[in-house]
Structure 1
């Protein structure tokens, strides 16, 4: 399938809409004392979560959580040592993993 100018325009419009709808990550850190990942957003809000609550983070070490990269769009934070990421819109909606993972986590709780 060949990419057309129209395809590019549609993708750019979607990107602008996504940026307007959600705040972006501007800083990420791991607080070793509370064992929480803290993400600062472009709207001034800070959001944090326990690694135990996120898919792919359950057995993460402090070193794993200490390395994080914000995506160019600011809509995701990637943890290279875990090969896992957190999608900011999902995080703000309370989702820290796939629906299947979430259902399994709820059943085991």
Structure 2
């Protein structure tokens, strides 16, 4: 017995609009030479990102990264062994994890000048005064 759920015309239109306008993956792979997850989109574009940017992928092995699957009609990526799911609209917007993950990533910097300034300011016990 199959259950039929009626779909309103408005819901059908929203779904068709989303399918036409939102990024959908048609192929995904891990490129070990570039150290990038590479996603081919239905609109002909390609998205590539380093796994270190994405929550749950930062410590994954190349073998684990290679097991990427496309889910949800192309709206998401899934790594079964890592239990990681990333949404294509989120990736396209630069969202590589949860809100807490993204907040922690925003404060990180590896710039030598910033690190040196931070050490110098820390040695003073305060932030430097502004000079006009």
TM-score (norm: length of structure 2): 0.71
- Give a deviation string over 1:8-27, Cα, whole Å, max 9, x none: 43654443332122131000
Query: Which position in structure 2 is the counterpart of 1:33?
Result: 33
Deviation at 1:106, TM superposition (A): 1.5
**Counterpart mapping for 1:24-103 below 5 A:** 24-103=24-103
Contact 2:23 2:92 in 1 (8 A): no
Residue 18 of structure 1 is matched in structure 2 by 18
Structure 2 residue ranges without an equivalent (≥5): 110-132
Any gaps of 5 or more consecutive residues in structure 1?
none
Q: Which has the larger radius of gyration?
A: 2
SS of structure 1 residue aligned to 2:107: helix
After superposition, give the CA deviation of every residue in 1:22-68 in whole Å (9 maximum; x if it has no partner): 13100001101111100000011110111100011110100111101
Matched residue count: 105
Higher relative contact order (CA 8 A, sep 6+): 1
Q: Name the SS of the counterpart of 2:65 in structure 1.
A: helix
Across the aligned residues of Structure 1 and Structure 2, the Cα RMSD in angstroms comes to: 1.9
**In 2: Cα distance, 1:38 partner to 1:21 partner:** 20
